[in-house]
Structure 1
Amino acid sequence: MDARPRAVLAFDPPTLAADIFPPHLWGRLASAVRLETGVVLTETTSAAARAQLAEAEVLIAGWGAPRVPSSAVPQLRGVFYAGGVARTCLQDPEEFAARGVVAANARAANAVPVAEYTLAMILLANKGARPAAQEYRVLREKPVLRPGVGNYQRVVGIVGASQVGRLVIELLRPFDLDVIVYDPTLAEEEAERLGVQTGTLEEVAAASQVLSLHQPLTAATTGQIDARILSLLPDGATVINTARGAVLDESALLDELRRGRLDAVLDVTDPEPPGGHSELWRLPNVLLTPHIAGSMGNELQRLGLDVVLEVERFVRGEAVHYPEELI
């Protein structure tokens, strides 16, 4: 008798499953659980989908997955999400929690490319790469660089000691940069362990040549980086946003950008993408990227490996490394 638990995949588009689980990872996954090759659910209402879900003990899902009701998966014991929050694929997460369903996500794996993107943008911003490249294209000779550019003894402000924020701090460690953090939940001893100074949001903004945003989007953080905070940034500072578009007051940022006082690197906006008439498309001191900081291309395989490892632990009866509370 095959002792492997029955598993179902849910992704939309379904081709995303093949990107996340290339053949070598698919083989490991298939060794741990029973899967039907080529079956990836994109909905939960058809008879075929309900039949698959009714037998599932393991749900492996990711971006675009339909929300699965607990009533459709009576045998489910584990949910493994190739992304940040497993609850997003569950219609009634509290019901799954009450049943003792184990959940794990690949947030730690997805934090890696976001932090790498942020590091690259911090270093380029301090180097004055964007304005130098623009002037070089026009002048066809080496431009006069801004005073004080470079990655020596500059101050980088981090808003939010989240998983990504902490990884950015770790990546900045080898550089001759001073890091100051605002996060009201960051304990003093933890800040010491991270090797960073802390301050109020106002103090961090006023000190930072680069301000990098990594806070979650909550009622308290919506519009948190507003006109008052932006006005405290030194002239020529750069705001980097890889968190959520709504943590930044776009109108206030546009006021600063129009004046040429600040630069911005925006991988997220609100709305996303910006409206067709938004000045963010046209202002020369904005680098606007299409939400590429997170996992994409071959980086998706890192998510796949994370999920495979968690599924293997689960099947062996071990605790998962990155559990998620469903309530």
Structure 2
Amino acid sequence: MSKPRFLLSLTRKIFDVCYDSSDQQELQSLVELVGGIPSRTEYISGWLLKNIKEVEACITGWGSISLDDELLDKAKRLKILFHTAGSVRDLYDKAIKRKIRMVSNAAINAIPVAEFALGAILSGLKGVYHYQEQFRKEGRIAWKQDISISPGYYRTTVGIISLGHIGRKLLKLLQNFDFNLLVYSKHLSEREANRLNVKKASLNELMSHSDAIVLCVPDLPENRHMVNAEHFALMKDNALFINVARGALIDEADLVNELKKGRITAFLDVTEPEPPEEGHPFYTLPNCILTPHIAGSFGNECYRLGKATLDEVKRYLKGEPLKNELSLGEFFYRA
């Protein structure tokens, strides 16, 4: 009996990053990869045009070529896309309009992002970032505890902006602590807020009452610069603002202006653009912690993405319900 015919719309490099050797072997035992595993030089639109017409499913991920109308016109047998990464908008909007099923790993990639945000919160609420900067400037005489910058975890307030995949996973982690939890979400009802044991808040309320704030909003046009000078000015002295979403969601110039006052601290894993331009204040402001977009799956965490995709492929082949399939509405609602 012949195997189902799949297309691996990934380069060998990305395939190796996201699928360990055992998962690669299992995938290839289950399906025929038409055209094999392309190298970086082989992976061009012409290669896709040649091979996509023969397959019922396509596995994609970071760096995959967008499926435009020319490719989709050739893909007469294509039924489903398995996206090894998270974001699918702009890549496959034409595919989903043709009622091609789509699986996204956004919920899987949210796991390390939530864990990263938790680490930033826990470090920040103990004043780690402040203390390190003081030691660098003053040395031994800075060895003193300061409750104003180390409120700790008991009954301090953490605000989560948006309750999508990342927000919900972060919320679950935070519920192991004695935090007061505020959530700003247009889609959260009072009933669900009560069930989750959180308080629903407006954006202004959340910004003004939280000791640590985590932005995890989807990168949609309507959310651009949703956090700006008005909101940063509302933050409590010594509060922490964490962005693990996208840089374009905040007005970075407004954030710089607020940081220069020395009142608050920012932890930015994302910026607009990435990296910031040479000489940008984010590199030198003492109250800005900058990381190069590492909150999402990185290193060994990438293998979780491949494993999740393989599991979905196995469910599909058995005719079972898929865990991470996107509906048409979800596709355009999520980033």
Partner SS for 1:108: helix
Cα separation, 1, equivalents of 2:7 and 2:77: 12
Q: 1:232-247, aligned counterparts within 5 Å?
A: 232-247=234-249
Partner SS for 1:175: coil
Partner SS for 1:220: helix
Cα separation, 1, equivalents of 2:195 and 2:287: 36
User: Are residue 62 (structure 1) and residue 64 (structure 2) matched?
Assistant: no
- Structure 1 residues 57 and 193 mapped into 2: Cα distance closer, same or farther (>3 Å)? same
Once the two structures are superposed, residues 144-169 of structure 1 have per-residue CA deviations (whole angstroms, 9 ceiling, x without a partner) of 33324112211111111111011111
2:85 is aligned to: 83
1:32 is aligned to: 30
1:318, distance to aligned residue in structure 2 (A) = 1.6
- Number of paired residues? 321
1:254 is aligned to: 256
Once the two structures are superposed, residues 219-258 of structure 1 have per-residue CA deviations (whole angstroms, 9 ceiling, x without a partner) of 4321111111111110111100001111111111111111
Once the two structures are superposed, residues 183-228 of structure 1 have per-residue CA deviations (whole angstroms, 9 ceiling, x without a partner) of 1210112112221111111111110111110112234321111111
Partner SS for 2:223: coil
Cα separation, 2, equivalents of 1:219 and 1:56: 34
Once the two structures are superposed, residues 24-71 of structure 1 have per-residue CA deviations (whole angstroms, 9 ceiling, x without a partner) of 11122122211255336764532x442221212110000110012311
Contact 1:67–1:91 (CA<8 Å) still a contact in 2? no
Percent identity between matched residues is 33
User: Are residue 264 (structure 1) and residue 263 (structure 2) matched?
Assistant: no
Contact 2:10–2:43 (CA<8 Å) still a contact in 1? no
Partner SS for 1:322: coil
1:185 is aligned to: 187
Partner SS for 2:45: coil
2:218 is aligned to: 216
- Structure 1 residues 194 and 71 mapped into 2: Cα distance closer, same or farther (>3 Å)? same
2:145 is aligned to: 145
**Structure-1-length-normalised TM-score:** 0.92
User: Are residue 118 (structure 1) and residue 117 (structure 2) matched?
Assistant: yes
Q: 1:1-327, aligned counterparts within 5 Å?
A: 1-2=1-2, 4-12=3-11, 14-35=12-33, 37-39=36-38, 43-46=43-46, 48-68=47-67, 69-90=71-92, 92-97=94-99, 101-137=100-136, 138-140=138-140, 143-148=143-148, 149=150, 150-326=152-328
Partner SS for 1:109: helix
1:141, distance to aligned residue in structure 2 (A) = 5.4
Cα separation, 1, equivalents of 2:97 and 2:176: 46
Contact 2:8–2:36 (CA<8 Å) still a contact in 1? no
Contact 2:83–2:103 (CA<8 Å) still a contact in 1? yes
Cα separation, 2, equivalents of 1:285 and 1:168: 24
Once the two structures are superposed, residues 82-102 of structure 1 have per-residue CA deviations (whole angstroms, 9 ceiling, x without a partner) of 1113454437224531xxx22
User: Where does the alignment leave 5 or more consecutive residues of structure 1 unmatched?
Assistant: none
1:142, distance to aligned residue in structure 2 (A) = 5.4
1:77, distance to aligned residue in structure 2 (A) = 1.5
1:8, distance to aligned residue in structure 2 (A) = 1.3
How well do the aligned residues superpose, as a CA RMSD in angstroms?
Answer: 1.8
Once the two structures are superposed, residues 115-136 of structure 1 have per-residue CA deviations (whole angstroms, 9 ceiling, x without a partner) of 0000000000101001112223
Once the two structures are superposed, residues 258-299 of structure 1 have per-residue CA deviations (whole angstroms, 9 ceiling, x without a partner) of 110110000011111111121111101111100000001110
1:176, distance to aligned residue in structure 2 (A) = 1.7
Greater CA drift, 284-293 or 88-97: 88-97
